[in-house]
Amino acid sequence: MARILARDLIRQGVSTSRALMSRQDKIWSRYSRDKVDIGETLARVLRTLSKALPLDLPLRALSVGSSTEPQFRILEASFRGGLYLLDIERAALAVINERIQRQAVTHVFTLRDNYTEIFADRVRTRRFLREALGGRRLHLIAFEHSLYYCGADRWRQLLDNMFEVLLAPAGAVHCVMMSASATDPSTTTWLYNHFAGKFFGHQNDQDLAAFARDAARGRWFKGAKILTKRDRVRFFVDDFRALMSVVWMILLYPNVHRYTAAQRREITEHVHRHLFAERKPLFQDQDHLVIYRGVGKGLI
**pLDDT for residue 99:** 86
Instruction: Report pLDDT digits (tens) over 268-283.
Output: 999 999 999 999 999 9
**pLDDT for residue 67:** 65
**pLDDT for residue 1:** 43
Taking the whole predicted model, whether its pTM rises above 0.85 is answered as: yes
**pLDDT for residue 6:** 67
Is pLDDT larger for residue 20 or for residue 84? 84
Q: What is the mean pLDDT of residues 65-89?
A: 86
**pLDDT for residue 91:** 82
Instruction: Report pLDDT digits (tens) over 156-170.
Output: 999 999 999 999 999
Percent of the chain with pLDDT over 70: 95
- Overall fold of domain 2-182+204-233+285-293: Rossmann fold (3.40.50)
Instruction: Report pLDDT digits (tens) over 97-106.
Output: 898 899 888 9
C-beta separation of 107 from 80 below 8 A: yes
- The dihedrals phi and psi of 32, each to the nearest 5 degrees, come to -125, 170
**In the chain, what is the straight-line distance between the N-terminal and C-terminal CA atoms, in Å?**
51
